[in-house]
A = this chain, B = another copy of it.
Amino acid sequence: MGSEVLKNKIEKMARDVKGAGMKMSLLSTKDKNAALRKIAKALLGRSDYLIKENKKDLKAAEKENYSKALVDRLVLNPKRIKGMADCLLDTLKIKDPVGEVLKTIKRPNGLIIEKVRTPIGVIGIIYESRPNVTSDCIGLCLKSGNAVILKGGKEAYYSNKAIFTVIQEALKETKVSVDAIAQISSTDREAIHHLLGLDQYVDLIVPRGGEGLIRFVAQNSSIPVVKHYKGVCHTYVSQKAKLDMAEAICMNAKIQRPGVCNAMETMLVHNSVANKFLPEVASALLEAGVEIRGCSKTKKILADAAKKAVEADWSEEYLDLILSVKVVDSVDEAIAHINTYGSKHSDAIVTEDKKEADKFLRCVDSATVYVNASTRFTDGYEFGFGAEVGISTDKLHARGPMALEELTTYKYLIRGKGQIRP
């Protein structure tokens, strides 16, 4: 498709979505829930079709010699399709955030000002690999009263298209306009460029994928972007920690699922407990197959059990059975390290000292800060928010799990009786 033709096509699509989106704020919770239920049913009913289309992507992936991990993320099977339907039914159960009155102000002049949650408008979601993102994000956007434009990765071309088609069909029997959802199926990267320039129609872009994709989107978008960068998460073991609790928390944060953004990448240990704690935890880590990269003090204590960490290790998101370890002299040094090398995602302290814990909570500049718990809890479901479009590492609009509430904004509704400004 010629670039100009593609551009016009995407612009028309966005304009239509915006038009349909304007009507979304008139839908009742009941209407939106009915639509989610209908979509869930349709996905289950069309499982065979979805699996058949998914096979085309898997065949192409084989040809392209994609990694086993990537192919695994692509697969659709009855269990995964049930997972997609379940995600919609979970979203259905979460309270509708739209219309919530956040604040009511009565002014001396009699004006009544209500600050009310509203949909954002049109949300563009740019993602890679996992086809379930298609239905998960449609569910979250519809429930929060937003229209949505989806741009999935080319590796899931047939799967995403099939899921979208089934959902589109299902919406025809609901009060949600079919135009409130759109999919850019072009695999041309230019398509993303065109979408990112449409700030008159699209209100928010959420990129989901690797760091490369997110940087590309952030740098090329005239539309606000909420970024979900990497998770370089820390656990600081204080001299006031219960060391058995610290070991359990660190092991969980590192090995329970090392390939995810809320797994621990760096462990910080207070100098005065390092001699006792490090050999114990190192032996458990090594047994679990974890490679340790330590600062010079760590190396001195662990000797050959640890490799030497280099500067780049402190800001690395391994997503693997690798852990960098640093010995620090104080909670202040731990906080400074985290704020310098971390990614504003999830960081924990293990300590029995309330004052120290409070300082850590206050000063660590991350979306979620833990005392005596594993960083692995940073997740929409674990917070009770339900499904999420991602974990924001930005500081504006949304921080941490970005679920239904974070897909809304607010406006002020002001009711008067003819008040004018003197």
A binding-site residues for B, Cβ under 8 Å: 22, 25-26, 105, 107, 111, 113, 120-121, 203-204, 218-219, 222, 224, 226, 242, 245, 248-249, 251-253, 256, 339, 357, 359, 361-363, 365-374, 376-378, 382-384, 394-397, 399-400, 409-421
Residues of B within 8 A of A412 (CB): 367-369, 378, 383, 399-400
Known A-B contacts A224-B394, A396-B224, A411-B369; A374 and B421 likewise in contact (beta carbons under 8 Å): yes
Contact A372 B256, beta carbon cutoff 8 Å: no
Contact partners of A248 in chain B: CB under 8 A: 418, 420
With contacts A107-B382, A339-B22, A395-B203 taken as known, whether A373 is within 8 angstroms of B416 at the C-beta atoms is yes
8 Å CB contact of A399 from B367, B411, B416, B419: B411
On whether A421 and B256 interact (CB within 8 A), knowing A121-B395, A224-B394, the answer reads yes
Residues of chain B contacted by A121 (CB below 8 angstroms): 365, 395
For A395, give its contact among B113, B120, B253, B367 (CB under 8 Å). Answer: B120
Instruction: A203 to B344: give the CA distance in the assembly, Å.
Output: 12
**Chain B residues whose C-beta falls within 8 Å of the C-beta of A384 in the assembled complex:** 105, 107
Chain B residues within an 8 Å CB radius of A111: 373, 377
Complex Cα spacing A262 to B26, Å: 27
Residue of B nearest to A257 (CB): B421
A421–B363 touching, CB < 8 Å = no
Instruction: Report the minimal beta-carbon distance from A190 to chain B, rounded to whole angstroms.
Output: 20
What would 18 more interface pairs be, CB under 8 Å, given A357-B415, A382-B421? A26-B363, A111-B373, A121-B395, A203-B396, A204-B396, A224-B224, A245-B418, A249-B418, A256-B421, A371-B413, A371-B415, A372-B417, A373-B415, A373-B417, A377-B414, A377-B421, A399-B411, A400-B412
Query: Is B374 in contact with A420, judged by CB distance below 8 angstroms?
Result: yes
**Complex Cα distance A362/B370, Å?**
39
Q: Are A120 and B396 touching (Cβ within 8 A)?
A: yes
- Contact indicator A396/B395 (Cβ below 8 Å): no
| Among all A-B residue pairs, the 5 with the closest Cβ atoms | A373-B416, A252-B420, A376-B421, A245-B418, A368-B412
> What residue of chain B has the Cβ atom nearest to residue A224's Cβ?
B396
**B409 close to A395 (CB less than 8 A):** yes
Q: How far is the CA of A120 from the CA of B111 in the complex (A)?
A: 31
Q: Chain B residues near A245 (CB, 8 Å)?
A: 418
CB-based contact B397/A362 at 8 Å = no
- Whether the pair A383, B120 counts as a contact (CB closer than 8 A) is no
7 A-B pairs, CB-CB below 8 angstroms? A111-B377, A253-B420, A369-B412, A373-B419, A376-B420, A395-B409, A396-B396
Pair B409/A22 contact, Cβ less than 8 Å: no
Contact A373-B411, Cβ < 8 Å, known A26-B363, A121-B365, A395-B121: no
Contact of A219 among B222, B224, B395 (CB under 8 A): B222
A400-B419 Cα distance, complex, nearest whole Å: 19
B400:A397 contact, CB within 8 angstroms: no
Residue of B nearest to A385 (CB): B105
State A78–B366 Cα separation when bound (angstroms).
44
Q: Measured between C-beta atoms, what is the minimum distance from A370 to chain B in Å? A: 5
Q: Which of A242, A357, A416 has the most CB of B within 10 A?
A: A416
- Kindly list chain B residues whose C-beta atoms are within 8 Å of the C-beta of A372: 415-419
Residues of B within 8 A of A26 (CB): 359, 362-363
A409 to B377 alpha-carbon distance, docked (Å): 21
Q: Are B421 and A252 in contact (CB under 8 A)?
A: yes
Complex alpha-carbon distance, A218 and B224, angstroms: 10
Q: Which residues of chain B come closer than 8 Å to A113, judged between CB atoms?
A: 383
Note all chain B residues with C-beta closer than 8 A to A419: 372-374, 377
